[in-house]
Amino acid sequence: MNLKQVFLFFGLFFISSFTQGQVLAPFESLKRAILFHYKSNSFSNDNLIASDSAKFYFENFLTNVNKNDPNFGLGVFYASQFYFDKEEFNKAEKLLKLFLDLKPPKQYQEFRYKDEFVSELDPNYYYRFVYEQLNEISLNKKEYGLALDYIRLAEKSSFQHFCVNAYSTRRPFLAYRKAKSFIGLNQPDSALKVLLPHIFQENFSENAELVETAVSLLKAKFNGNTFNIVNNAFKNISSKKIRYDKTKFTIYFVELDRVIIEVPTPLLVKFNEADYKDYIFSSRFYKQIKE
């Protein structure tokens, strides 16, 4: 433990000792808990100390807050994120389900830390995280029917993000989670139906796992004929013109196992049909099919 960590440790000890004899205002406890949790996720040698601090203040909040407090749901949500990140999934699951049982207020009180972190005021913002994490917990517990229910609820929940890339990766993320649920339910065709439209979206962080799963399912379905079926399907590229906001676009697509798969167009690059074919036959998916 270096000198900085020693000071942090004794600072935490002093704060904890000082507050034991008094009850912090709930929102003050919550603000400290969120801040320490935020810091505990940073790449720092002090994250263990920050994590202990976060736990102390989350417990302080949950113990002393009035259940009618308009920020109770916000505290329950962030506490669930803390335990989820700590992989204490039983505690996280209880808090996530408690959040779903609560009647949300019109908006939460804002919590801001410099320009690095600002809490979202709209309660609806948090539901997608809750459903996605309950899906993951259910998958880990092999409760596949419940996992499927949660991911379907996540699909219906509102999603707002300043980054366009976040929108483009959300669909394959949900599709991959839904496919894992279908596979657990022994419904491989349903899994393929949701996976195949996303096999070319290589900007998605879990694309390698998604592609590997799709390839595995196809090879199990078509055995030794898999490569010929995929190769023939990819040779037959089609196109159609669409209109969006008074602008016409041409999109290219292929059909595999009765599923339409759009071939993505890179931003700021003008593609012709030959370019799309090159993209398809150099994709991660096609390379794995050939193996």
Half-sphere exposure of 47 (CA within 13 A, CB side): 12
- Which stretch of DSSP H or E encloses residue 103? none
What pTM, to 2 d.p., does this model score?
Answer: 0.83
Are 35 and 27 within 8 A, CB to CB? no
CA 247 to chain centre: 32
Q: Which of 203, 208, 193, 254 is nearest to 229 (CA)?
A: 254
Instruction: Identify the three-state secondary structure at position 238.
Output: strand
pLDDT of residue 164: 46
Range with the poorest average pLDDT among 38-47, 66-75, 157-166, 215-224: 157-166
Q: Where are the alpha helices (DSSP H) in 65-184?
A: 72-85, 89-101, 127-140, 144-156, 164-184
- Which stretch of DSSP H or E encloses residue 211? helix 207-222
Can you tell me the mean pLDDT for 155-169?
Answer: 61
Can you tell me the mean pLDDT for 83-109?
Answer: 91
pLDDT of residue 21: 47
pLDDT of residue 88: 95
CATH numbers and ranges of domains, the chain? 1-160 (1.25.40), 190-291 (no CATH)
pLDDT of residue 45: 53
Cα 16 from Cα 56, distance rounded (Å): 8
At position 65, the amino acid (one-letter code) is V
Q: Report the C-alpha dihedral over residues 222, 223, 229, 231, rounded to 10 degrees.
A: 140
Are 73 and 107 within 8 A, CB to CB? no
pLDDT of residue 7: 39
Are 92 and 108 within 8 A, CB to CB? no
Largest CA distance in the chain: 74
pLDDT of residue 233: 96
Query: Tens digit of pLDDT for each residue in 187-232?
Result: 999 999 999 999 998 877 788 999 999 999 999 999 989 999 999 9
